């Protein structure tokens, strides 16, 4: 069974926590250490960012991390090589998050093959048009038992959400707002209403809520309205400041308890 499906089938109502970091930042060769540390300290799933020069959905924190990673020499092939070296050690799901351009330059067939060889369970491609997903990406990903995770936002129509739910597997990435990524202090009533609206749809796929989660209030709100939460910008900031995943996690867990 794909590790993503296995995670959600075994969680037994326990709320999950997934963290995002950008491969190659703050150091080129730190990817393996970050992954090992996150797994050791109880993180349920890891999103590994593929750095790209024009990350349109990302705020300044993740943009800066991508710039650092590219300057450090991180490439998609380098990332795969680093992941292959630790494939047999990692038990939790790894999801690659990146934009379409570098993936298509490699070729979707080769990309999926490398994902399997590297222990990757799925991918999130924010700028992948749904028609291209259905026609070109999904058939290949299905052949390699990889999950392509789709995002929904407060502006996504109910018809589109149900279509996504019917044609994807693993989980749905529920973006907390239509804005770019970045930490928020709280989720306002408008976002709470969005959460309630999606809850009332009783979707087939589990959902994870991301974008803006950085403290106890936003974490608890996300976990109350989904299978779990995804934290990106807050962890990326702390990782950059601390230089070590352990130090970043110490500060993150403190922030999430206050």
Active site residues: 47, 58
The neighbour count for residue 9, using CB atoms within 10 Å, is 10
Helix (H, G, I), strand (E, B) or coil at 178: coil
| CA–CA distance, 19 with 232 (Å, rounded to integer) | 6
**Beta-bridge partner residues of 97:** 49, 124
Q: How far is CA 38 from CA 35, 41, 104, 168, in A?
A: 5, 5, 29, 27
Q: How far is CA 14 from the centre of its chain?
A: 19
Strand order of the β-sheet with 172-175 is 147-149, 122-124, 94-97, 45-49, 16-22, 228-231, 207-210, 172-175, 151-152
């Amino acid at each position: 069974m794909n590790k993503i499906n296995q995670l959600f089938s075994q969680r037994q109502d326990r709320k999950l926590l997934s963290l995002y970091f950008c491969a190659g930042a703050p150091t080129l060769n730190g990817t393996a250490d970050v992954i090992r540390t996150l797994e050791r300290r109880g993180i349920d799933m890891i999103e590994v960012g593929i750095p790209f020069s024009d990350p349109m959905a990302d705020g300044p924190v993740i943009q800066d991390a991508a710039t650092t990673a590219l300057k450090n020499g991180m490439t998609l092939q380098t990332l795969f090589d680093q992941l292959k070296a630790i494939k047999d050690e990692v038990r939790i799901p790894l999801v690659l998050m990146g934009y379409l351009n570098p993936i298509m330059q490699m070729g979707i067939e080769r990309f999926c093959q490398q994902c399997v060889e590297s222990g990757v369970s799925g991918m999130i491609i924010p700028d992948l048009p749904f028609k291209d997903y259905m026609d070109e990406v999904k058939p290949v990903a299905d052949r390699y038992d990889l999950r392509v995770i789709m995002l929904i936002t407060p502006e996504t129509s109910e018809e589109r959400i149900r279509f996504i739910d019917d044609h994807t597997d693993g989980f749905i990435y529920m973006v907390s707002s239509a804005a770019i990524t970045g930490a928020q202090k709280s989720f306002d009533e408008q976002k709470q209403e969005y959460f309630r609206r999606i809850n009332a749809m009783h979707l087939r796929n589990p959902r994870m809520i991301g974008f803006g989660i950085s403290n106890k209030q936003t974490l608890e709100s996300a976990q109350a309205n989904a299978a779990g939460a995804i934290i990106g910008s807050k962890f990326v900031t702390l990782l950059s400041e601390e230089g070590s995943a352990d130090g970043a996690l110490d500060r993150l867990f403190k922030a999430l308890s206050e």
